[in-house]
A and B are shown apart, each in its own frame.
Chain A
């Protein structure tokens, strides 16, 4: 290493001039401009788009209207789909909590040399594309698929079960897709829990199950809340999984919106549907946060 001792040049080292003081801002400026132009503006533009007048030819006609919202909110079909979407989101979130908490609890506590492998196993679905994973479930759940073949092989069923083109298949595959996103925040949460808390509870007379219910689970609430919100939002806005496994039975808002945009070229109406979905999601999340707030007392 050669270090030339440079004489302290005035004006170079000292952050005195306003230009110098604000120079570091140039580091973040490109990213901010990028995000402002291609994220902030386009999101506001959705709102504008949703108020445009639909047209047969072209993106939209002159003028503004609230007719798109009126049409979506008064039509039982769209509200039904919204309900079904929220239901799928809710079921997926519950399933992710049920699977995620024990896995995170185990992995967060594990000191075995296998934990690295298990960690990779949990991460791997996240790094395999959603189309590929959903395709995996297609192989398993289809009428002639792995699940039905295996069940029939063992004589457990006569006729093939309908495992996809219904809520079950969609929720199952979504759970698989989103489970890592539940586990990751939980993992940090579990690792932050002092293992002596469980020992303390046991020395006070609590069995394993009681320790889990009274100590482990309540202490995981911040992670469950954070992971739950993430999973819920992503489940509700998921497109690929419901499109591939839902069939005509399970229509979710995302599928419907993409249909309006691409197949029907109904942009203003599609924009209105997207905003209704976003609003419904936000309201659900806010309700959820309020509902779970008492469970976080003393933890933050």
Chain B
């Protein structure tokens, strides 16, 4: 298993800086997602690791060995593309065989390895099919098999699920995750879909405008984002501006326009500095909630509500004039204009820099 490390990577296209001083280091067998909006430099970063782009500065190391100047074919990577890039003139078997041929693997060994990997991706029996005779999901799995059969040091996946329909995409997320864990291969996974990244990753690197803004586990990224745009990108957010007042016991109070709100302390922000409070809609409960010193409580009226199936999305205007987005269970829907009390715990509330 390999440690992949990217150090201070910079890549420009004419005047546009595609990747701006990006650094990250995987652990052995870890799956890291590069998550960000389109044009944020995540694909360029991936391509630099694959060797399709040469960085203007910075290095890529596999297990401490500098591979920055190696040609793609000299690196030991397995790559899966968004549109799979299966060789249309070759059968499933020949597609898998290609990488092994390039490595001079003998026919018999190759046959064993291909059989094994096709079994792993559940495609046994389709060896003689051509790619265009396969469904989207099957093509996706051939692409995985072709990348895995060469037993690469690093697996790179470039939006691999973007071309699949919603149902298949959900299925394939779990499939890829369990396959990656079974093989135990160090993996870099590019996606713009936050729910995909949250589900599949050991850690997520969120990128904006060529920079890696935050690296952390899905929990950290979701519950403790360091900037507002990370917070917004990974989920729905209520953001309230205010001033931080530090308290004992790991908590802090944010003095907002709606009065003091208790939240988990963020040591990165100085006492008295401007801060932004984050509370996710599903962390807010309708009603008084448990009697606790931790609880923040507001009264207001339902201004609007939208039925989303699994939840109802409410807009609630508090008496202080705040507009909160609150997710409630669809049983016993509140009517528009109804008075309501909402509450959320300080431990479910995070403070980030203004």
* Chain A residues within 8 Å of B, Cβ to Cβ: 194, 196-197, 199-207, 210, 214-215, 218-219, 221, 297-299
**Can you sample 18 A-B contacts with CB below 8 Å?**
A194-B83, A197-B87, A199-B79, A199-B81, A202-B51, A202-B73, A203-B51, A203-B73, A203-B75, A203-B147, A204-B150, A205-B99, A205-B102, A215-B87, A219-B89, A221-B89, A297-B130, A299-B89
- Contact flags (1/0) for B128-140 with A, using CB distance below 8 Å? 0011100000000
Residues of A within 8 A of B131 (CB): 298
Partner of A214, one of B75, B82, B85, B98: B98
A43 CA / B91 CA spacing, docked (Å): 45
Does B89 contact A298, Cβ atoms closer than 8 Å?
yes
| Chain A residue with the shortest CB-CB distance to B133 | A298
Partner of B103, one of A199, A205, A221: A205
Residues of B within 8 A of A202 (CB): 51-52, 71-73
B214 CB to nearest chain A CB (Å)? 29
Q: A206-B73, A298-B90 are in contact. Are A200 and B132 (CB under 8 A)?
A: no
A242 CA / B77 CA spacing, docked (Å): 55
* Chain B residues within 8 Å of A, Cβ to Cβ: 50-52, 71-73, 75, 77-79, 81-83, 85-91, 98-99, 102-103, 130-132, 146-147, 150, 156
Interface of A is mostly: helix
A204 CA / B143 CA spacing, docked (Å): 11
Residues of B within 8 A of A204 (CB): 73, 78, 98-99, 102, 146, 150
Does B73 contact A205, Cβ atoms closer than 8 Å?
yes
B109 CB to nearest chain A CB (Å)? 16
- New A-B contacts (5) at CB < 8 Å, excluding given A196-B83, A203-B156, A204-B73: A196-B82, A200-B79, A203-B147, A205-B99, A219-B88
| Chain A residue with the shortest CB-CB distance to B50 | A203
A206 CA / B99 CA spacing, docked (Å): 8
**Highest count of chain B CB atoms <10 Å: which of A194, A200, A202, A210:** A200
A201 CA / B86 CA spacing, docked (Å): 9
Residues of A within 8 A of B89 (CB): 218-219, 221, 297-299
Residues of A within 8 A of B87 (CB): 197, 200-201, 215
A200 CA / B84 CA spacing, docked (Å): 9
Does B98 contact A299, Cβ atoms closer than 8 Å?
no
A272 CA / B52 CA spacing, docked (Å): 59
A145 CB to nearest chain B CB (Å)? 44
A212 CB to nearest chain B CB (Å)? 13
| Chain A residue with the shortest CB-CB distance to B129 | A298
Residues of B within 8 A of A197 (CB): 85, 87-88
A203 CA / B80 CA spacing, docked (Å): 10
Residues of A within 8 A of B50 (CB): 199, 203
**Highest count of chain A CB atoms <10 Å: which of B51, B89, B99:** B89
| Chain B residue with the shortest CB-CB distance to A206 | B102
Residues of B within 8 A of A221 (CB): 89
| Chain A residue with the shortest CB-CB distance to B80 | A200
| Chain A residue with the shortest CB-CB distance to B156 | A203
Q: A196-B81, A197-B85, A200-B85 are in contact. Are A205 and B150 (CB under 8 A)?
A: yes
| Chain B residue with the shortest CB-CB distance to A200 | B85
A199 CB to nearest chain B CB (Å)? 5
Partner of B102, one of A199, A210, A299: A210
Does A199 contact B90, Cβ atoms closer than 8 Å?
no
A205 CA / B82 CA spacing, docked (Å): 20
Among all A-B residue pairs, the 7 with the closest Cβ atoms: A205-B102, A204-B99, A298-B130, A196-B85, A202-B72, A200-B85, A203-B79
Residues of A within 8 A of B150 (CB): 204-205
**Highest count of chain B CB atoms <10 Å: which of A194, A201, A205, A215:** A205
A196 CA / B157 CA spacing, docked (Å): 13
A5 CA / B324 CA spacing, docked (Å): 52
B277 CB to nearest chain A CB (Å)? 44
B269 CB to nearest chain A CB (Å)? 43
Residues of A within 8 A of B75 (CB): 203
Does B88 contact A298, Cβ atoms closer than 8 Å?
yes
A173 CA / B102 CA spacing, docked (Å): 41
Residues of B within 8 A of A194 (CB): 83, 85
A204 CA / B74 CA spacing, docked (Å): 9
B89 CB to nearest chain A CB (Å)? 5
| Chain A residue with the shortest CB-CB distance to B78 | A203
Does A199 contact B88, Cβ atoms closer than 8 Å?
no
| Chain A residue with the shortest CB-CB distance to B158 | A196
A214 CB to nearest chain B CB (Å)? 7
| Chain B residue with the shortest CB-CB distance to A298 | B130
B77 CB to nearest chain A CB (Å)? 6
A197 CB to nearest chain B CB (Å)? 5
Q: A205-B150, A210-B102, A299-B88 are in contact. Are A200 and B81 (CB under 8 A)?
A: yes
| Chain B residue with the shortest CB-CB distance to A300 | B132
A62 CA / B62 CA spacing, docked (Å): 89
Residues of A within 8 A of B103 (CB): 205
